[in-house]
Amino acid sequence: MKSDGGAIRALLSALALAAIVAVSARGQGAVVNLPKPDADGWIKLFRGNNASDFFTYYGSGSPNNTFPDKTFSFKDDTIIVTGTPTGHIIFKQSFSHYRVRYEQMQPEKIGNCGMLVHVQLNDPALWGSFPRSIECQGDPKQGIGQIWCISNVWVTVHATSSGTPRYNPTAPLITYGAKDDGSRQILGIKEPEQKLNEWVLVEAEVHGSDSLAHFVRGETMIKYSNPHVAPPTNPNQVEKVLKSGQIAWQSEGVPVRYRNIQIKLFKEDPLYASLYGTVGTTDYRILPKAAAKPNLRFQQGALRVMRGEGRIFTAAGRAFPLSR
């Protein structure tokens, strides 16, 4: 088969231009310097050498403290939390469309911990040391993955309406959250167990205000939408829709460990293009194996391997094998 070297050269030239554009775009809208995603698209938020990308928070009016401090410290890529006083460690960068995951472990006593999404740090904090946000509960006694709405936040969810609402995908939609201090909790579909010294995988998937979900060990605990700020007396009097925000992890009563904190952005997030590149033939480079340089051809809009093998890389560094 005749070599299509011209097509390869054109592809590589386009790649070089795309790489320049991607590098120049990196950092636009970014507060921290995020690393490239791994082969599966995950970015490790805490890597043991980037403590300056986080700060600690102990309530409205108190200064934002440098991490580590007396409550939040770390060893390698594990964040170590004393449990007292109540506070939060917050990642400086805001996100809007993403999946975040981490593992939690309680070494001494089972109790309160968790993660906050859509943190609105500049809004009024109306409930103690908690910033306005939505909590993905980490306390096994209450139910890992359930919701707590913080500081006049309401959400829309399929849930039972008697007593404390419980998520049920077949139940009617209700709007719930900020009526009073006793009306902020929405139970997940069940209460997963956690033993002392057991690492548990917790995840949240966020698509702006359109849809959000919490997962424990890969199982869906709750799905909801339309997080918004409204007065306790009228959830329809919308003051603000929560479409993006920071992510935080709690100190609340018992020692806890958080590790493997990772995020995967979706294309709707403003930072996506600068980290992952865009989808298209100009976003790729080819690295041939020494033994057999691949011969590539575009046919009917597809990239086809005519001879040899190697790997094709996206601008973000994700690799896909090529072989004939």
Mapped to the 3 state alphabet, what secondary structure does the chain carry? CCCCHHHHHHHHHHHHHHHHHHHHHCCCCCCCCCCCCCCCCCEECCCCCCHHHEEEECCCCCCCEECCCCCEEEECCEEEECCCCCEEEEECCCECEEEEEEEEECCCCCCCCEEEEEEECCCCCCECCECEEEEEECCCCCCCCCEEEECCEEEEEEECCCCCCEECCCCCEEEECCCCCCCCEEECCCCCCCCCCCCEEEEEEEECCCEEEEEECCEEEEEEEEEEECCCCCCCCCCEECCCEEEEEEECCCCEEEEEEEEEECCCCCCHHHHHCCCCHHHEEEEEECCECCEEEEECCEEEEEECEEEEEECCCCEEEEEC
Per-residue pLDDT, 300? 47
Confidence band, pLDDT 50/70/90 cuts, at residue 9? very low
- Chain segment 236-254, per-residue pLDDT in tens: 999 999 999 999 999 999 9
Per-residue pLDDT, 296? 56
More confident residue, 12 or 29: 29
Q: Which of 31-45, 182-196, 243-257, 293-307 has the lowest mean pLDDT?
A: 293-307
Give yes or no for residue 255 having a pLDDT over 50: yes
Task: Give per-residue burial for 125-155: e unless 16+ CB within 10 Å, then b.
Answer: bbbebbbbbbbbbbbbebbbbbbbbbbbbbb
**Residue 166 β-bridge partners:** 187
Per-residue pLDDT, 256? 98
Give yes or no for residue 292 having a pLDDT over 70: no
Residue with tokens 């910033």: 131
- Chain segment 19-65, per-residue pLDDT in tens: 333 333 344 478 999 999 999 999 999 999 999 999 999 997 788 89
CB 210 within 8 A of CB 141: no
Per-residue pLDDT, 181? 85
Per-residue pLDDT, 127? 83
CB 191 within 8 A of CB 140: yes
From 229, 182, 252, 218, select the one nearest 103 (Cα to Cα).
Answer: 218
Give yes or no for residue 74 having a pLDDT over 90: yes
Instruction: Classify burial at 171, counting beta carbons within 10 Å of its beta carbon; exposed 0-12, middle 13-18, buried 19 or more.
Output: middle
* Residues, the chain: 324
Q: Output the six-digit token pair for 203.
A: 């995840």
Per-residue pLDDT, 10? 43
Q: Kindly list the distances between the CA atom of residue 139 and the CA atoms of 111, 194, 202, 256, 257, in Å, as whole numbers in the listed order.
A: 5, 9, 11, 10, 13
Of the chain, the percentage scoring pLDDT greater than 70 comes to 77
Name the maximum alpha-carbon separation found in the chain.
Answer: 74
Give yes or no for residue 139 having a pLDDT over 80: yes
Per-residue pLDDT, 146? 98
Phi/psi at 16 (nearest 5 deg)? -60, -45
For residues 15 and 35, give the distance between their C-alpha atoms in angstroms, rounded to a whole number.
Answer: 20
Per-residue pLDDT, 63? 80
CB 146 within 8 A of CB 222: yes
Which domains does the chain show, CATH number per domain? 5-27+283-323 (no CATH), 43-270 (2.60.120.560)
Give yes or no for residue 83 having a pLDDT over 90: yes
Give yes or no for residue 182 having a pLDDT over 80: yes
Confidence band, pLDDT 50/70/90 cuts, at residue 314? low
More confident residue, 122 or 83: 83
CB 4 within 8 A of CB 12: no
- Chain segment 258-271, per-residue pLDDT in tens: 999 999 999 999 99
Find all residues with CB under 8 Å of 200, minimum gap 6, and list them: 103, 104, 105, 144, 192, 194, 216, 217
Bin 159: left if φ > 0, else alpha if -120 < ψ < 50, else beta.
beta
User: Is this model's pTM higher than 0.85 or not?
Assistant: no
Per-residue pLDDT, 304? 57
